[in-house]
Amino acid sequence: MTPPAPRRVTQRDIARLAGVSQATVSLVLNNRSDADVRIAPETRRRVLRAIDETGYVADPVARRLVSRFNRIIGVFTYEPAFPSGSRDFFHPFLLGIEEYAERVGCDLLLFTSAPVVDGRRKVFHQDNRLRLADGCILLGREIDGTELRRLNEDGFPYVAVGRRDDAGGPVPYVGADYATAVGQLVEFALARGHRRLAYLSMGLTAESSTDRQHGFARSTRAAESARQFATTGQDADLLLDNLRADRTTVALVEDFGTAVALELAARRRGLSVPGDLSIVTLGDPTVPVPSDITFTGFHIPREEMGRQAVEVLTTVVDGSATDVPQRLLPCVLVEGETLGAPDPAVDRN
């Protein structure tokens, strides 16, 4: 097994070793003293000694930001980030954001003053404080296109987490390549002999859902049947009836919770997964869903999306981005145990 890469030494590490604040480390690194802050020679020597002993190298992005900006990165979540139902969705993104922000010596400012109306916030409310930050990272299952257009018009630096295309112009984003991941799963199913496939969507209009559906549609041309339908208003037993009536052998399910419920419904009827029906999931659960099954599907690189969102935002803030930066990161496929070969002996009529 390849040993893990050594963790990068950060300014926080230097501050701990030298017994000073991270702000003091930053001042020493940049050979500065604020008007109201004088750094004692012994303090400076301790910081330099810690830098020398650890081999710390300042990140070039931090070097570019330090003299021109506040080094405050805003984070705006369209849905509340802290209720238990949202925690599993936002937590990995926030971990990645925090990690890279620390690396470049920036503080995070979570915008929470926006009122929540019908479960959602708006960036532009009467008391918004966007300008306290050098730029902002936007998080949400669905992001308001009118607000993206206004951010573009105002020239305020921002990066959306997730591909966005409804701002009347290019949107800087870091997203996941859902279309490719779904296409690869379809190819696996076809290679195992499946010819009757179904895509069970959540009925959303978000780009993440659209990308998944496009990946399914363009990869199923060799299939005998490739249906798409929304699961809205149907319980697991109705969904199972629908799939069985059409002799579907593999269901690709957008919502993880629906996939778990479908597997349980099949088990209640004495059916096996994947023997009688294969089930493939198209992403991680966004709320806790207990299951002892390892579903075939893919993981979304949420932490890495958070890290790269901060990296991209710094290029927007400091002007080093030559074009509107847009990145799609590969998803991680999971072999799982819920995709098998269809059984021709099973009567599916």
| 218, two tokens | 């363009």
Cis preceding linkage at 274, omega within 30: yes
* pLDDT, tens digit (0-9, with 9 covering 90-100), for 13-25: 888 888 988 778 8
Task: Report the distance separating Cα 128 and Cα 73, nearest Å.
Answer: 15
pLDDT for 12: 80
Using 50, 70 and 90 to split pLDDT, how confident is the model at 31?
Answer: low
For the whole model, what pTM was predicted? Answer: 0.78
Which residues have a Cβ under 8 Å from the Cβ of 114 and sit 6 or more positions away? 76, 121, 122, 123, 125, 128
> For the domain 11-58, what is the CATH superfamily, name and number?
lambda repressor-like DNA-binding domains (1.10.260.40)
Given a cut of 50, whether residue 157 has pLDDT beyond it is yes
DSSP-derived 3-state class of residue 122:
coil
What average pLDDT does this structure show over 32-57?
75
Per CATH, the architecture of 178-299 is what? 3-Layer(aba) Sandwich (3.40)
Task: Report the distance separating Cα 254 and Cα 213, nearest Å.
Answer: 9
Domain boundaries in the chain?
Answer: 11-58, 72-176+302-330, 178-299
Q: Considering only residues 22 and 95, tell me which one the structure prediction assigns the higher pLDDT.
A: 95
Which residues have a Cβ under 8 Å from the Cβ of 206 and sit 6 or more positions away? 141, 142, 162
Judge contact between 228 and 198, C-beta under 8 A: yes
Rg (CA), the chain: 24
Angle in degrees, 0-180, between the axes of helices 11-18 and 22-29, rounded to the nearest 10: 110
Q: Do domains 11-58 and 178-299 have the same CATH topology?
A: no
pLDDT for 132: 86
Given a cut of 50, whether residue 303 has pLDDT beyond it is yes
* pLDDT, tens digit (0-9, with 9 covering 90-100), for 96-149: 999 999 888 889 999 888 777 776 788 887 777 888 899 999 998 878 888 999
* Sign of CA pseudo-dihedral 253, 256, 258, 263: positive
Using 50, 70 and 90 to split pLDDT, how confident is the model at 11?
Answer: confident
Given a cut of 90, whether residue 5 has pLDDT beyond it is no
End-to-end CA distance of the chain: 49
Task: Report the distance separating Cα 175 and Cα 119, nearest Å.
Answer: 23
Longest CA pairwise span in the chain (Å): 84
Task: Report the distance separating Cα 125 and Cα 105, nearest Å.
Answer: 29
DSSP-derived 3-state class of residue 18:
helix
The mean pLDDT of the chain is 86
pLDDT for 347: 44
| pLDDT-above-90 percentage for the chain | 51
Given a cut of 70, whether residue 238 has pLDDT beyond it is yes
CB atoms within 10 A of CB 253: 27
Give the residue among 202, 208, 147 at the shortest CA–CA distance from 174.
Answer: 208
Task: Report the distance separating Cα 196 and Cα 308, nearest Å.
Answer: 38
**Edge-to-edge strands, sheet with 196-201:** 225-230, 196-201, 250-253, 278-281
> For the domain 72-176+302-330, what is the CATH superfamily, name and number?
Response regulator (3.40.50.2300)
Coarse DSSP helix, strand, coil percentages of the chain, rounded to the nearest 5 percent = 40, 15, 45
Please tell me what DSSP assigns to residue 248. -
Place of tokens 């806790």: 288
Task: Report the distance separating Cα 331 and Cα 323, nearest Å.
Answer: 25
Task: Report the distance separating Cα 127 and Cα 132, nearest Å.
Answer: 12
Least confident residue range of 48-52, 181-185, 323-327, 331-335: 48-52
Given a cut of 60, whether residue 34 has pLDDT beyond it is no
pLDDT for 1: 43
